[in-house]
Structure 1
Amino acid sequence: MLILIVIAVAFVAYANGANANFKGVASLFGSGTTSYRTAVNWAAITTAAGCVAALFLAGTMLKAFSGKGLVPDGLTTQPVFLFSVAAGAGAANLLATRLGFPVSTTHMLMGGLLGAGWMADAGDVNLDTLWGTFAKPLLLSPVLAVLAGGLIYFVLKMLCLAPDHRTRTLDTLHFLSAGAVCFARGMNDTPKMAALLLGVGWLGGVSGMLLVAAAMAAGGLMSARQVAETLAHKITDMNPGQGFAANLATALLVTTASIHGLPVSTTHVSVGALLGIGITTRQVKWRTVVPVLTAWVVTLPCAAVLSALIYAAAKHFS
């Protein structure tokens, strides 16, 4: 069972990389600043740097996503529970990635914890912890991102720092801001998945986060194309200045959340910032945005149901 847990967590991390690595560099590709291959390689490098930073800032996030406080402590070290959370979250995430929907691994893991927790003992799921630790930051972050994306773009435009065309200075700033988003995402997401390895003694802590980092990089390099097309071309038309503004807003919000141990979704923040700019410029492609928002609502219960079913099956055969 311990080997299955490791495989399942690697599966979640691979799906996370496939779905989320490109979110930081989508504006580079979407605005024509660089090619898909260069963008995805830059995402892998800077996400890996964020994973390393998470080694020093991961305490609060590791505790939250181990399930402690949400479900009974005894359950958080139970191998069947850990496997069910990881397997359910990974399956739901990979399905969304194959369909090209940029969804939240944070949603998947929260759904997995809830589904397996309720199947194990519905009466012991702490709803106060669910709201304060998980739901509140997840609900607030996309709203803040929409406002921040529109405001930052407006200010940069006023200061002539977000031109509609490429310049050497803008390209440099755009690459740096994209790297900052990926760095922040790696820092915020790595401990969420590594937390499921805390019950596997020999892979707890540093070793677990390095395994997650490697799987995330592999997923981003090999399976990001469908989500890349959605983020880069189907949410809003984007010029280099708008892409730089979206990255700046995303990096500021996700980095702040990571430092304070808040489990926000980089997906929500990234898409929210793009949406805020699209609303400001009146270029939002609502025919794509509405299905993406719907996917956000559906993914959590899907992951919960899958994890609950996997937990029930694993307990039956164990």
Structure 2
Amino acid sequence: MTLLAFAIVLFLAWSNGSNDNFKGVATIYGSGTASYRVALAWATVTTLAGSLLTLWLAAGLVKTFSAKGLVPDAVAASPAFLSAAALGAALTVSAASRLGLPVSTTHSLTGALIGAGLASGSGVNLAVLGKSFFIPLIGCPLLAIVITAVLYPLARFARLRLGITRDSYIRIEEDLVLVSANSSGAAMADERVRLAIAGGAQPIDRYAGTLGGLSAQRALDVLHFLSAGAVSFARGLNDTPKIVAILIGAKAVGVQPGLFSIGIAMALGGLLGARRVAETMAKKIVTLNSGQGLVANLTTAGLVIAASRAGLPVSTTHVATGGLFGIGLITGTARLRTIASILLAWATTLPLGALLGAAAMLLQKRLG
């Protein structure tokens, strides 16, 4: 059973990587700051760094997701219970990844813990569930929307005060052709531009001016790239202990080997299975430029790192997507149909995880 628990938890880590690894770098891919390959490599390296530093920076989350207090200690230490919860969460996240929907591993795992706990016959401590799980999971995405909605207008005001302007271009073959200048929105009379836009080409924003003696665009690209790494680091920091807790509870492996195993499985899942969710996060929620992406990333990284240090199980997915929602609401570029499908997926993640966790627990009980 211990070996089976180890294999199932690695499957959960793989599924987490395929659905979550690209979320931190979605803005640098969507804004054109980095290619898909460069963004994916950056996400892999920084997420793995966050995973390996979990023991020192986010040890409280290991305790939270050990399930102690949520269910009786004897159940929380049962490899059968923990395997059922891991399998229910893994199947939920894996299905979402196949559909290209960014869902929360945290919500999936919480649901699976509830379902497996109920199916074991032990019940679930509702007070612990509300305080340790639901409040941070629901509150943080709403906070991310509010913060980005406040920060972005302030950042835009600061940019204008510094004399940095924003011009829009369309890429036609190897050339960047000006569409509008100095954020005026006045379209340039170029037949190639009209044909390109009619064919679905998206404008590319570039910033003109200097910042600290550097080209404003170059400085912003560097900051944006670093902020994406910070989000990925925060995600590794927040997600890894939730999964490692199951390995430790099942006595399948020690803490340090567990961290390394989970980190590698998450990295491989992201490298090999992230493409569909990457396209959704980067291009289908909102149209972003590098400045907007920087604000969204700083919000996400700050909230997730703070929550990890406090031992709160927030969803990086929900926080990151909440940040994008906030930018889209302010700029009017949010794609409501995609957002609606994501919200529907969020609403079904926890109950689906609970259903699959319960089914896995009942199957194990039947098999003895």
Of stretches 17-26 and 164-173 in structure 1, the one that deviates more from structure 2 is 164-173
Residue 36 of structure 1 corresponds to 36
Structure 1 residues 264-303: Cα deviation after superposition (integer angstroms, max 9, x where no partner): 0000000000000000001110010001011001011101
Of stretches 217-226 and 201-210 in structure 1, the one that deviates more from structure 2 is 201-210
| Matched AA of 1:19 | N
| Matched AA of 1:28 | I
- Structure 2 Cα separation of the partners of residues 76 and 129 of structure 1: 14
Q: Decide whether the 8 Å contact of 2:44 with 2:267 is kept in 1.
A: yes
> CA RMSD of the aligned region, Å?
1.3
Residue 159 of structure 1 corresponds to 158
- Structure 2 Cα separation of the partners of residues 43 and 100 of structure 1: 18
DSSP-derived class of the 1:314 partner: helix
Residue 231 of structure 1: which of 278, 281, 292 is its match? Answer: 281
Residue 294 of structure 2 corresponds to 244
| Matched AA of 1:137 | P
| Matched AA of 1:48 | L
- Structure 1 Cα separation of the partners of residues 91 and 316 of structure 2: 19
Q: Decide whether the 8 Å contact of 1:194 with 1:204 is kept in 2.
A: no
* Alignment of 1:61 onto 2:111: no
* Alignment of 1:206 onto 2:247: no
- Structure 2 Cα separation of the partners of residues 79 and 305 of structure 1: 19
* Alignment of 1:296 onto 2:346: yes
Unaligned stretches of 5+ residues in structure 2: 167-204, 208-216
* Higher relative helix content: 1
Structure 1 residues 7-51: Cα deviation after superposition (integer angstroms, max 9, x where no partner): 111111111111011111000000011110100000000001111
Identity of aligned residues (%): 49
Shift of 1:77: 1.1
| Matched AA of 1:26 | A
Residue 51 of structure 1 corresponds to 51
* Alignment of 1:104 onto 2:145: no
* Alignment of 1:286 onto 2:286: no
Residue 169 of structure 1: which of 211, 215, 219 is its match? Answer: 219
Shift of 1:200: 3.9
Unaligned stretches of 5+ residues in structure 1: none
Structure 1 residues 67-92: Cα deviation after superposition (integer angstroms, max 9, x where no partner): 00100000011111011011110011
Largest Rg, 1 or 2:
2
Shift of 1:52: 1.6
Aligned residues, how many? Answer: 317
Shift of 1:202: 5.4
- Structure 2 Cα separation of the partners of residues 138 and 202 of structure 1: 28
Residue 308 of structure 1: which of 354, 358, 364 is its match? Answer: 358
Structure 1 residues 195-249: Cα deviation after superposition (integer angstroms, max 9, x where no partner): 0011343513111111110000001111000000000011011111111111111
- Structure 2 Cα separation of the partners of residues 148 and 15 of structure 1: 30
- Structure 2 Cα separation of the partners of residues 114 and 120 of structure 1: 10
| Matched AA of 2:11 | F
Shift of 1:59: 2.6
| Matched AA of 2:149 | G
Q: Decide whether the 8 Å contact of 1:111 with 1:300 is kept in 2.
A: yes
- Structure 2 Cα separation of the partners of residues 200 and 309 of structure 1: 19
Q: How does 1:126-141 map to 2 (within 5 A)?
A: 126-141=125-140
| Matched AA of 2:44 | A
- CA change 1:202–1:93 in 2 (3 A) is closer
- CA change 1:202–1:301 in 2 (3 A) is closer
Q: Decide whether the 8 Å contact of 2:2 with 2:251 is kept in 1.
A: no
Residue 272 of structure 1 corresponds to 322
DSSP-derived class of the 1:25 partner: helix
| Matched AA of 1:2 | T
- Structure 1 Cα separation of the partners of residues 229 and 152 of structure 2: 18
